[in-house]
Structure 1
Amino acid sequence: MTQFIPCALVPVYNHQQVLAQTVVNIRQFGLPIILVDDGSNELCKSVMRELAAADPANVHLIERPINGGKGAALKTGLQSAAELGFSHALQIDADGQHNSADIPRFLQLAEATPGTLIAGMPEYDASVPKGRLYGRYLTHVWVWINTLSLGITDSMCGFRVYPVARSNALIAAEPMGDRMDFDTEFMVRWHWRHWAIKQISTRVIYPEQGVSHFRVWRDNKLISWMHTRLFFGMLWRLPRILINKFRAEVA
């Protein structure tokens, strides 16, 4: 890769209360933005259209007609990033949970290691719902089992930098979930290909007026099925994984 041309990628679903501030926070670093409307309500659509109209050179709006889920929005956004000529896409949530002040740190590491997936490791304060926090630990354990490695510290954080071409190639080659299961499944399948991953500690908050689209029964069911799918995928890859681990230890 000869040129580092990053953008921000923001999936949006009914985040009209805080979206304008999120865009301001991103734009202060001179980063172009792709907003992916994942079938939002009319009020949120109008906010996004106003933001795009106010700065058409730097705010690109992609509208999906129906809600397909965070993963579906990210897949659409990564494809759009490729079509617009961006080399890397910094995923950041629309709801203000992520610390936008850390954007330069993520981009600096991505530019220094352009083929690497850069992912956040959340540092939570007291605002985090305890059920969500404990549920993450169960996913951590399953990820360690499905990769036969402790190398992935956190697979669920939606603050990350994707190498666009490599990410789209992975998505095209392997089926992945379209909702809250996408982040973890993408990272495990990336790891299976022995592509580099670097993780950065970053503060994550749950704003008092924040809007969560995590649906406990639906999304936990999808995540459970995702872990099952990955487990059998790991068993199929097990001989190759063990051979590669042995070669790495010998080297």
Structure 2
Amino acid sequence: MANAVSATPTDGASAPCGAISSTHLVLIPSYNPGVKLQDTLRTARAHWAPVWVIVDGSTDGSADWLRARAAEDAGLRVVILPENRGKGAAVLHGVELAAAEGFTHALTMDSDGQHPAELIPKFMHASHAAPEAMVLGVPQFGAEAPRIRVLGRKISNGWANLETLGAGIVDSLFGFRVYPIQPLIRVMRHQRFMRRFDFDPEAAVRLAWAGVPLVNLPAPVRYFSADEGGVSHFKYLRDNTLLTWMHTRLFLGFLLRLPILVGRRLLSSTRNSS
């Protein structure tokens, strides 16, 4: 079982556009993101380098715009997948490329403007302070957030903490987070799931099972209306069915791992009391 790690990051850990980090990169899986892509990328690049965008078979012309932008920006890399494989598959492709080039951590975020790109330095600072940990964003919802989505998150979060014996995952679904790359690759290569919408919650649970500690940091999330350029690929029946199947699998996996998780908890308690 993973243990939560305390961190009090500041906003000062930034890799400005002229200085490219050799260990931490921003990884943005992107599928038909809409007009908010430009603002997202502009803000991300203002706060960090390098930024990689994995175009997951987009058909909206965004790949062409990204190619043109990357040709003028040494801190931006665009990788184009020929067909839509799902968010998790796009992230896995990106982190495998990153690992081959020596990167150790990846901050993942959405391309549609919902995630706060201005907080990239804060999350990267927390990762530098606790490099063994995953840094999980805790969404702070505005009044525009769909109520059914907010309630659905509470259910998923409850299952995630049951499945990890209370590891401290405050939000299992929010995709603005920093992963240590090698542990993430290991858990994804060992099974065929985590390739689509189920990626974020299953990654948090499986990394906790692997003993990866976690840091929780608050981050605002914005749901844009269609008039504001918002794009949603969430399909209520399809994706909730996927999440239900995912939590069924994870709960069965939790039962099999329960003796190990309890043993870790007892060992951790013994160490903390000594």
Q: TM-score with structure 2 length normalisation?
A: 0.86
2:251 to 200, 223, 231: 231
Q: Which residue of 1 aligns with 2:12?
A: none
Runs of 4 or more off by more than 3 Å in structure 1?
none
Q: Supply the AA of the counterpart residue of 1:118.
A: V
Return 5+ residue gaps in structure 2 as ranges: 1-20
Residue pair 1:8, 1:33 contacting (<8 A) in 2 also:
yes
| Alpha-carbon distance in structure 2 between the residues aligned to 1:28 and 1:160 | 18
Higher relative contact order (CA 8 A, sep 6+): 2
Q: Which residue of 1 aligns with 2:268?
A: 248
Q: Which residue of 2 aligns with 1:24?
A: 42
Q: Which residue of 2 aligns with 1:190?
A: 207
Residue pair 1:82, 1:165 contacting (<8 A) in 2 also:
yes
Q: CA deviation at 1:182?
A: 0.7
Distance change (3 Å), C-alpha of 1:30 and 1:142: closer
The superposition leaves residues 27-46 of structure 1 with CA deviations (integer Å, 9 ceiling, x where unpaired) of 11242111101110151221
Distance change (3 Å), C-alpha of 1:243 and 1:5: closer
Q: Supply the AA of the counterpart residue of 1:43.
A: G
Q: Which residue of 2 aligns with 1:171?
A: 188
| Alpha-carbon distance in structure 2 between the residues aligned to 1:49 and 1:101 | 23
Residue pair 2:140, 2:221 contacting (<8 A) in 1 also:
yes
Q: CA deviation at 1:246?
A: 2.3
Residue pair 1:71, 1:180 contacting (<8 A) in 2 also:
yes
- Comparing 109-118 with 38-47, greater Cα deviation is found at 38-47
Q: Which residue of 2 aligns with 1:40?
A: 58
Q: Which residue of 2 aligns with 1:134?
A: 151
1:67 lines up with 2:84 in the alignment: yes
The alignment partner of 1:28 has SS state of helix
Q: Supply the AA of the counterpart residue of 1:166.
A: P
Q: Which residue of 1 aligns with 2:136?
A: 119
1:216 lines up with 2:236 in the alignment: yes
Q: Supply the AA of the counterpart residue of 1:21.
A: D
Q: CA deviation at 1:84?
A: 3.0
The alignment partner of 1:40 has SS state of coil
Residue pair 2:145, 2:222 contacting (<8 A) in 1 also:
yes
| Alpha-carbon distance in structure 1 between the residues aligned to 2:47 and 2:158 | 36
| Alpha-carbon distance in structure 1 between the residues aligned to 2:122 and 2:179 | 14
The superposition leaves residues 101-153 of structure 1 with CA deviations (integer Å, 9 ceiling, x where unpaired) of 21111011111111110110000001111111110011011112111215111
Q: Supply the AA of the counterpart residue of 2:242.
A: L
| Alpha-carbon distance in structure 2 between the residues aligned to 1:150 and 1:118 | 13
2:111 to 94, 104, 108: 94
The superposition leaves residues 1-52 of structure 1 with CA deviations (integer Å, 9 ceiling, x where unpaired) of xx96211100111114121221110111242111101110151221222222
Residue pair 1:4, 1:88 contacting (<8 A) in 2 also:
no
RMSD: 1.6
| Alpha-carbon distance in structure 2 between the residues aligned to 1:216 and 1:69 | 16
Q: Which residue of 1 aligns with 2:14?
A: none
The alignment partner of 1:156 has SS state of coil
Q: Supply the AA of the counterpart residue of 1:5.
A: T
Return 5+ residue gaps in structure 1 as ranges: none
| Alpha-carbon distance in structure 2 between the residues aligned to 1:247 and 1:84 | 36
Q: TM-score with structure 1 length normalisation?
A: 0.94
Residue pair 1:117, 1:160 contacting (<8 A) in 2 also:
yes
Q: CA deviation at 1:78?
A: 1.0
Q: Which residue of 2 aligns with 1:54?
A: 72
